[in-house]
């Protein structure tokens, strides 16, 4: 991908999303030793992506970050990715719709108060990695599988196919002058209730192989020809459609496993949740400890539901078996 293909275009889409009432702050949580609470901070998605924001925060706390994670899924060309996206565009009539989780509430924009988090110990994190290795799946696919199961009982059609947005790091394919700014695209996974983690992993790999993330980035690049007002109208029109993803699942990956950064802090992360979505979920592994965070959209979630989801997510993760059965809570 050429350097600075569409510089700043993604940020302009995020600005337009803010105008519609979305809060675009990426959530980061700092947990200090012997603390039961979290020091939350937010960096606007208009300024950077999840990886870039995390690097900014670590640098603010004195860490030296010589390089940022590069893409593991390079993709070239324009015609082939766009053709593959168009060829596979058919919607599934069995997919859940926004009406299956949306509720008629109108909360003011701002950080969601419906948040839950969990930090695994280093020992627990290693055990989870070993479990995924035994089952022949990535941590990403495993966590997404269990998250999907955890939230199903709280939508109107728990047996439906659920669309999830999965961000993809484009660093290495895409280069901006400021390495912390947005270098991100996405794929959309469609998960059936009985899908195993391995089935989900194969689907994600197939979408990446055919360049779905590249095609979506190219389509967003059309925004450089559109006015701010037109972008706002396009977002509003899209949110009015019945179909849409239930939310974002984002994994920032593994950071400083050698513990070269002089700190005893642990970290949490969660992507924003926009209108029409039910929730956002994020994870990051820092110095050997995996942290999970869930936040629900204020317009779509009742009080206490994030804690319920987190408890169900943890129960599925810690289950001794590969849980392909539905969750009940």
Residues spanned by the domain of 250: 9-318
Q: What is the DSSP letter of 69?
A: P
Q: Is residue 211 part of a domain?
A: yes
Q: Is residue 324 part of a domain?
A: no
- Cβ neighbours for 133, distance < 8 A, ≥ 6 positions apart: none
Query: Could you give the number of structural domains in the chain?
Result: 1
Q: Is residue 329 part of a domain?
A: no
- CA triple 8-10-14, angle to 5 deg: 115
Q: Is residue 305 part of a domain?
A: yes
3-state secondary structure at position 250: strand
CA 58 to CA 64: how far, in whole Å?
8
Q: Is residue 3 part of a domain?
A: no
Burial label, 161 (beta-carbon count in 10 A; 0-12, 13-18, 19+): middle
Q: Residue 277: phi, psi to the nearest 5? A: -100, 160
Q: Is residue 183 part of a domain?
A: yes
Number of other residues whose CB lies within 10 A of the CB of residue 100 = 17
Q: Which residue has the tokens 């209730």?
A: 193
Q: From residue 184, how far is each of 17, 52, 70, 169, 194 by CA, in Å?
A: 16, 10, 11, 5, 30
Q: Which of 243, 151, 171, 161 is nearest to 203 (CA)?
A: 161
317 in Cβ contact with 128 (< 8 Å): yes
Q: Which of 293, 301, 277 is nearest to 105 (CA)?
A: 301
Q: Is residue 325 part of a domain?
A: no
Q: What is the pLDDT along the chain (329 residues), one digit of tens a residue?
A: 444 444 567 889 899 999 999 999 999 999 999 888 899 999 999 999 999 999 999 999 989 887 888 877 766 666 665 656 666 666 666 788 888 887 656 667 788 889 999 999 999 999 999 999 999 999 999 999 999 999 999 999 999 999 999 999 998 877 788 889 988 899 999 999 999 999 999 999 999 988 888 888 888 888 888 899 999 999 999 888 888 899 999 999 999 999 999 999 999 999 999 998 999 999 999 999 999 999 999 877 888 999 999 999 999 999 875 544 444 55
pTM here?
0.90
- What CATH number corresponds to the domain at position 258? 3.30.559.30
Q: Is residue 1 part of a domain?
A: no
């Amino acid at each position: 991908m050429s350097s600075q293909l569409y510089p700043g275009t993604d940020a302009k889409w995020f600005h337009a999303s803010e105008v519609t009432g979305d809060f675009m702050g990426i959530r980061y949580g700092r947990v200090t030793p012997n603390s039961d609470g979290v020091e939350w901070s937010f960096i606007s998605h208009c300024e950077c992506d999840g990886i870039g924001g995390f690097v900014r925060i670590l640098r603010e706390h004195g860490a030296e970050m010589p390089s940022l994670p590069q893409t593991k899924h390079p993709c070239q060309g324009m015609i082939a990715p766009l053709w593959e996206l168009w060829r596979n565009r058919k919607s599934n009539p069995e997919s859940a719709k926004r009406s299956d989780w949306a509720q008629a509430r109108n909360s003011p924009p701002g950080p969601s108060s419906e948040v839950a988090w969990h930090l695994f110990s280093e020992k627990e994190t290693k055990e989870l990695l070993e479990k995924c290795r035994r089952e022949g799946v990535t941590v990403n696919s495993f966590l997404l599988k269990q998250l999907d199961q955890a939230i199903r009982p709280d939508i109107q059609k728990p047996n439906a196919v659920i669309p999830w947005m999965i961000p993809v790091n484009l660093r290495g394919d895409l280069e901006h002058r400021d390495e912390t700014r947005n270098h991100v695209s996405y794929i959309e996974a469609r998960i059936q209730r009985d899908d195993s983690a391995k089935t989900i992993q194969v689907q994600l790999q197939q979408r990446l192989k055919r360049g779905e993330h590249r095609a979506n980035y190219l389509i967003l690049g059309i925004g450089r020809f559109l006015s701010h007002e037109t972008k706002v109208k396009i977002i509003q029109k899209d949110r009015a459609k019945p179909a849409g993803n239930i939310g974002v699942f984002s994994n920032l990956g593994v950071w400083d496993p050698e513990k070269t950064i002089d700190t005893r802090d642990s970290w949490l992360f969660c992507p924003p949740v926009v209108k029409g979505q039910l929730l956002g979920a994020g994870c990051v592994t820092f110095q050997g400890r995996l942290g999970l965070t869930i936040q629900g959209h204020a317009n779509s979630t009742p009080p206490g539901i994030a804690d319920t989801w987190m408890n169900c997510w943890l129960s599925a993760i810690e289950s001794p078996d590969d849980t392909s059965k539905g969750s009940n809570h």
